[in-house]
Every structure is written in structure tokens, then in C-alpha cells.
Structure 1
Amino acid sequence: MRYSSTGEDVVQKMKLADMLSYADISHLNNIASYYDCDCKRNSKHELIQSILIKAGRKEFLKEQWKSFSPGDLRFLNNLVFDTRSSYSLEDLLAAVRHTSLEEKSDETPGSKPARTALESPREAVSRYRRSGWLFNGFTSSTKYMFHVPEDLKERFREELSLHLKSGLQVSMPPEVYREEQGLITEDLKLMLRYFQEHELTLNAEGFMYRKQQQQLLSTLHIEESLITKGPWRFGYGRSCSEYPDRFALLYDYAVAQRWVQETPAGLTLTEHGKECILSGNQVSMIQLFRFWLKIYKSAVPNLPSLVYWLGRCAKEWVTMDSLHATVGSLVTPFYYDTPRMILERRIVKMLLHLGMLRLGESQTLGTVIRMTPLGIKAGEIAPQLGHGTVHNDNDVII
């Protein structure tokens, strides 16, 4: 989303102190009441100073953390990694609905009540306003939009990083581990050559027959099993319902690049596809990674931030169980997929296929993973790639 208003640009750069100075006195009073500030409630200057003193304390976020529910952490994590500078009420309501789960509040005496399933999305947005996380704009074009103070975003990221890393279980390097770096781009070229050399017909639904799939998969470096009967597959690309996950990503990417064309007569390689094979140029890893982020975001909207946190948390060997307990807490279910399934199958396994992590087995700790140098670099840029703020792949090196 692009904005032309100069007022929007100003709001985007504002810190908490700036936003407080533009807030009306009723909003300031709500924030002061939320944090039990001791000040004159009819003095805007005293209200601002009192709130800033509270919020400026080193323990401010640590104390708030005690009252955050898992849904709060998911919502705020989404917010601080979203590159948009403002949000409509509808944007926020949708984000709250997505990050909410049936939760039980484990409040302690004296703590602020955590959000539960009984709190409506509108009530949640109102609570985030009262706690100083959301502010309305101050110009005619921004007053109905909501903004987040930039310094609170940064502080939240720092605190969440400490929170996630504190729960990790580090492992010794496994004796044997699996790594697929470089294989996915090689298999993409092999797939295109197969399409060039074979006549492939499509079934009534527009997909390859299972025998054709089996023959093609057997020619690739990483051979996957065919899809078996089970829950309805959707949400992870146009062909995920009929093709295995890794192959579906390659196939969808080839179609999106116009290298492959589906016709009533069957599957054919386009002139663009033939040029790709003849050129001998390496397939762009950054474009394939960006494409994966794009098509999986329909099911996992906060995927870029999850990849970012994996890059931060798995710089050394860590257990899958501890990653599920930490980073996995930021994942919401998607129909038949539980948070653990999404983390292990939709994220970790696909990052393995993209050559961005190593997967091993420890005799005592079970499954362990470690990001590759490529994966660590990709994690750093995933939020920018996922939200479309990087427009030239030549400016990105991973």
C-alpha cells in the first residue's frame, strides 16, 4: 500500500513521545489510567511526562510481558514486522481475529487481564489504544488510521528476541544431518528439461497423471512421495492440492515465470522456458525464496517474521521441541494444520528444501536444526521481501 500524504511520512517516523504530544487529553487519560500514573488528569503536560517516565523504565516491557497472552504476542509480533506505516480499523480487526485462539487466562493477582477468547476484536483494539500501542493520526488524511510508535516496535523486537532465546535448548552437532543447499534450483532446471523432452497430458482437473508425476519425481535429486488421500489440501499454492510440497513450489514458480504453459492438449514448455534452459544461467534463489514467502502467506500471514526469528534463534544447533515451544507459539493454526504441523512441515521442511537450514537427529534430544549462512541472511531480509519493500532483487545478496 502506497501513501502520498506528507503527514503519513511524518507519522511513520514518530516515537512514543511524539505521538503522545499529538494525542488528545482523553486518550492520554486512558493511557495514564491503564498504567496507574500518578499525575494531574487535567494537565496534558503532566500526563505526557508521567506516561513517558513509566514507559521509559527498563522494566516497562518486562512487566507488560507478564500480562501478554499468546494472542497478544502474536498480534504485536505481526504489527512490529509489518512495513505499512498505518492501519485501518478493518486491518487491525482482521489481524486480531487471525492471531486469536481459544485461550485461558493465567492471570496473577495484581496483573492486567490478558486477552481471552471472550474479548472481541474491537475490545482488543481499544485495549491496545489504552495501553499506548496504537495512536490515531493527527492530519485530516490520517486521523482515521492507526499507527504504532517506532521506538516501541524496536523495544518489542528486542524483548521478544530475549524471550524466545531463553526457551531454546541448544544441542551438540548431530553425527549426521541433512542439507539440500543448491539442489532446488538444479531440480527446477531438471523439471523444465523433462517437460521439454516428454509429452505430458493433463487430467480433467488440469494436473499431471500420477504415473507421470512418479516418473518426473524419480528424475529429481529430492524424490517425494505422491499425495495420498487425506484432509483437503489448500492454501499453499495453486497446485498443492495434487502435487507434493516441494514439487508444487517448483511447478507453481515455473508457471508464474511463464516457463510452462497448460493447454487442453497438455503441458508444454514456452519459449521463455526454453531460453531459461539454453541460457545456463543460475535460477535466482532470492526470487524463489520471495515466491515461497508470497504463496505461503495466505495460510501463514506472519511467515516473514517467523523466518526472521528462526534465523535469529537457530544460528547454532537447537532442538525442534524447544523451537516449537518458543517460535511455534507465534504460529496460528490453518484449518487442518496445527501450529506444530505448520512450523515443522510448512516452514522448517521448506527451508530445508530451499537450502536454508540443516536437519539432524540427536540420540537424546530428537530432531535438531541449524540455519545455514544462507538461511541466516535470508531471515534478516524476509520481512522486507515478504511485505514487498524490496523492489530490486539486484540490491539483495543472500
Structure 2
Amino acid sequence: MRLNECLNHASVPTLQRIAKSLHVTCVPYSKLDILQSILEAWLDPDVRKTMVERWCSEWDAAMRRVVLQPRHAFAREEMASLLTPFGDGALERALEAGWLYVHPDPATKFPLVVPEDVQEACHDHYVKAWRAQVLKRCEEPPCVRDEEDAILVDFEALVDYVRGHDVRLTTTGAMYKRHLEQLMQLFEVEESLELPRWRFGYGKRAFAYPDRLALIYDFACDEGVLVEQDGRVEVDEARFAAWKSSLTVAKLRRLLRHYIATYRGAIPRLADVLRLVRRVGGDWLDLASLYEVCRPFVNAFYYDSAEDVWRIRIVKMLVHLGVARIGSDTPESPPEWFQTTELGQELLSQGDAESTADLTERRPALVVQPNFELVVVSPDPRLEDTIAPFVERIPSSGVRAYRILAHTVARGLREGHDFDAWRAFVVRHALYGIPQNVERMLARWVAGARGEIGADAADVQSGESWA
């Protein structure tokens, strides 16, 4: 819907408040005069520029995200979430400001509308400002790293390796280190196998594998190409044949979509970052100034600072996915320049065209690790109170982590807590589900604890009858 349609469906009181907010002179009791006066003001380039600058200044945090969306209509809850920083009554004030309107169809899924021409004007305002902030260079840097489609080559190398070897999994559900070392020798892009103590939030196997391999392996399992069964990894040949028949662009698009879905738990505004990068990309851009532009959408995540998230979780992974390449002035210096590839621009454009509810607030989430640790990704007292009966807290700095063991399960059952309801809650809030080895042990511990409780009850009853 465009501005004239939105104004036409608005009530007289709403139009009066909009005209007052925009300082438009009109006959306040004539809907036609108010509507025409607002439209005439909007069609004046100078007045329109003033309106846009005012909206983008007063509603900056919300407007930045609105202009990056590939749609114009929003759910009431997500718009209320966007306007949270502006305090109580922000939604009502936004509806009076002239850039947000109520959809004329009350049954629609997205009842709040930003007119297309208003969104486009604000979008152009921000893009112009973002491009002015980012430093550029005309010539290509002397040292460039471009992985192109190497991730697809290594995906097939992983599948070929599993097909040709008896790949068994540890009790935590990870491949043994000798397999990882052999894979690194086969891959076009090698990674260090030395991992930090805390690894969670970036995929189901991030606890055991380096970033790129974890992404490839998780994707292969999600696609059904690799199947974990009875402590082994096997290849589903039919799924792999279907994968090989796909076009390169389609494969990379699926990988990019998987990356966004996997990393979004830790980086809620990842989709916004990628949309922004597409709008300023194409040239060689200074990485530091590009980070400053993207910074409002980049958050710290436990052991990763905001800069770590930007450098390792976004820039490095976009290079791995063939979306971008990086450059430096000397082989020894760290990356200083960033450029989206032509293929990357195409992939990001396809994602931009997909209208998804990226702004919907995530429910509180946690990660269940194969070592029986539960890490709370989105801290929430209610979530932690709910999981408390069957876990014990792990003392640690900066990470809210818990451990579930046989004695904590037995304790929770003895205290009368419902384990099945607890497990269903964990499954609902776990980003990557419950690992198979944890599921197996939980079933064993619960059966054992319930047996002991039943035996104790029988002893009590026999004692009472004897008495």
C-alpha cells in the first residue's frame, strides 16, 4: 500500500493527529482537505526530505530495521518489539507520526503498514548515509582471499570420506580426532582442531568441530546426506545424488540459508546485517568502517565480543560461503578490506526477496551439549527456574551453564517434579534439540530412579502392613 491509500483508509481523528505531527496546515474537520494537504506536503521534495529526516532521526533504532525488511506490513507484536526502546505508548505515537498505519483489513496477519513510498524514501536516506560512512578503494588489494565455491568441494570431500571409511562417533556424538585430522588434509580450506573450552550457539556440532567443518557437517545432516545411526555416520546415496544434480547457485543458496538459521540464535539481527552489506557492497570497502555501520545490528554473545562476532562469525563465514572476499596490503597483515562477490550479491538478493518474519522475538533458548551441559543462550529467570529441578549449576564466569546427571534426575523425581514435562520444555527451547547420547542416558537414569522410588515405596508399605 502506498501513502495515499493508507491516508484514504485512516479515520478523521487519525488524520488530524498526523497533520498536527507533520505541521501541515489544513481544514481540521474536512477529511478530504486533511488528506490532500498531507499528500501535497509529501509530494513537495523539500518537505518530503524534512519529513524523512525527522522520522529517521526520531525513530532511528526502529526505522533502521524497518527499511531493511523486504516487506511493508508487520505483526503488531513485532512492531511493538521494534518500538520498545521508545517507551510506553510508542506504538500510538508512531501511528500519529505519519509513517505507520493500520491495515484496512482487520483479519490480516500483518495489521500494521509502512507505506511503500515512505519506506523507499527512508531506505534511500539510510543507504546514502551508510555509503557515505564506509571508506572505499578503487584498485584491488595486493593480497586477496577468495574461497569461491570451495565449501561445496569440501562438502563432497566429507561425503566421500564417510563413504570410504568406517566413521564411528564418540559417546558425545562427535567424530574421532583421527578422522578430523584426515579430513583437514583432504579439505581445500584447512582449520585448526584446537578448540576453546566453551563452544555453543553456532550449530549442533560446534562443541566438537571448528567453525567451517561444523557448518558443513550440520548442513549435511540437515539435508539428510549424512545419517548418524547406532554410533556411526553413513551416506544416504539417494539424497547425495539429488544434491549433486542441483545447480551451484542453488547449493550455495541452501548453505547460506542454513548458515543464517544456525547462527541467528546467537546473532538475532544477522539477516539485517546481510541486507545492509548487500546495499553497500560491490566495491572494496574498509572493514573497520563497514563494521561501524553494521554495529547497531551486531551483538556480543557470551565468550564472543561484538567485534569477535563481526570478524569470526560474520565476515569469516561469508568468505567461507563464497559470498565475500577479503583483502590486505601485505601477506602478514590482518584483513583490512571487504568486498561482496558478484555471486554473493546474487545470493543476498535472493534472500532479500524472501519475506520472512525476521523481527519476531525469539523465545528464550538454551543449548544442550553432548557432555550433559545445558547453556542458557537467552538468559531468562523463568526458563532457569523451570530447568532447575533436574540440573545443577556449573560455577563459571560469563556463562550461565548447568549440568544434568543421574543424581540430579533422581533428586528431581524424589521431589515430585514431572520429568516428562521438563524434557518437553527443554526440547521446545533447545536450539538444536537434545543429542542422542544424552537422550539415551536420560531414559536410563529416569528408569533407574523411578525403580528406586518404587522400591522405596514398596518397603514403606510393607513396613506399615507389618506394623
Question: TM-score higher than 0.5 here?
Answer: yes
Pick the aligned partner of 1:379 from 348, 353, 358.
348
Find the counterpart in structure 2 of residue 369 from structure 1. Answer: 338
Pick the aligned partner of 2:288 from 312, 321, 324.
321
**Residue type of the alignment partner of 1:367:** E
The alpha carbon displacement at 1:302 in A equals 4.2
The alpha carbon displacement at 1:301 in A equals 4.4
Residues in 1 aligned to 2:72 and 2:55: alpha-carbon distance in whole angstroms:
26
For the 8 Å contact 2:299–2:305, the answer to whether it is kept is: yes
For the 8 Å contact 1:305–1:383, the answer to whether it is kept is: no
Residues in 1 aligned to 2:314 and 2:163: alpha-carbon distance in whole angstroms:
31
Identity %: 26
For the 8 Å contact 1:167–1:322, the answer to whether it is kept is: yes
Please say if 1:24 is aligned against 2:36. Answer: no
Q: Secondary structure at the match of 2:45?
A: coil
For the 8 Å contact 2:298–2:310, the answer to whether it is kept is: yes
Unaligned runs of 5+ in 2: 358-467
The alpha carbon displacement at 1:50 in A equals 2.8
Describe the shift of the 1:46–1:337 C-alpha distance in structure 2 as closer, same or farther (beyond 3 A).
farther
The alpha carbon displacement at 1:336 in A equals 4.8
Residues in 2 aligned to 1:185 and 1:28: alpha-carbon distance in whole angstroms:
55
For the 8 Å contact 2:70–2:354, the answer to whether it is kept is: no
Pick the aligned partner of 1:34 from 16, 21, 41.
21
Residues in 1 aligned to 2:287 and 2:224: alpha-carbon distance in whole angstroms:
37
For the 8 Å contact 2:174–2:208, the answer to whether it is kept is: yes
Q: Secondary structure at the match of 2:262?
A: helix
Describe the shift of the 1:213–1:385 C-alpha distance in structure 2 as closer, same or farther (beyond 3 A).
farther
Task: Give the number of the structure whose residues are more often helix, by fraction.
Answer: 2
The normalised TM-score by structure 1 is: 0.77
The alpha carbon displacement at 1:74 in A equals 4.7
Find the counterpart in structure 2 of residue 341 from structure 1. Answer: 308
Find the counterpart in structure 2 of residue 293 from structure 1. Answer: 260
Residues in 2 aligned to 1:90 and 1:83: alpha-carbon distance in whole angstroms:
18
Q: Secondary structure at the match of 2:148?
A: coil
Residues in 1 aligned to 2:52 and 2:128: alpha-carbon distance in whole angstroms:
14
Q: How many residues align?
A: 352
The alpha carbon displacement at 1:57 in A equals 3.5
Find the counterpart in structure 2 of residue 123 from structure 1. Answer: 89
Residues in 1 aligned to 2:314 and 2:61: alpha-carbon distance in whole angstroms:
17
Which entry has the higher C-alpha Rg, 1 or 2? 2
The alpha carbon displacement at 1:251 in A equals 0.9
Query: What are the equivalent positions in structure 2 for 1:299-314 lying under 5 Å apart?
Result: 299-314=266-281
Describe the shift of the 1:385–1:136 C-alpha distance in structure 2 as closer, same or farther (beyond 3 A).
closer
Residues in 2 aligned to 1:338 and 1:33: alpha-carbon distance in whole angstroms:
44
**Residue type of the alignment partner of 2:135:** Q
Q: Secondary structure at the match of 1:238?
A: coil
Describe the shift of the 1:278–1:354 C-alpha distance in structure 2 as closer, same or farther (beyond 3 A).
closer
Find the counterpart in structure 2 of residue 242 from structure 1. Answer: 208
Q: Secondary structure at the match of 2:336?
A: strand
Residues in 2 aligned to 1:273 and 1:326: alpha-carbon distance in whole angstroms:
41
Residues in 1 aligned to 2:342 and 2:171: alpha-carbon distance in whole angstroms:
44
Which deviates the most, 222-231 or 167-176?
222-231
The alpha carbon displacement at 1:52 in A equals 2.2
**Relative contact order, CA 8 A, sep 6+: which one is greater?**
1
For the 8 Å contact 2:272–2:297, the answer to whether it is kept is: no
Find the counterpart in structure 1 of residue 448 from structure 2. Answer: none
For the 8 Å contact 1:237–1:295, the answer to whether it is kept is: yes
Q: Deviations over 1:278-297 (max 9, x none)?
A: 87986822322232233333
Find the counterpart in structure 2 of residue 173 from structure 1. Answer: 140
Describe the shift of the 1:69–1:230 C-alpha distance in structure 2 as closer, same or farther (beyond 3 A).
farther
Q: Secondary structure at the match of 2:166?
A: coil
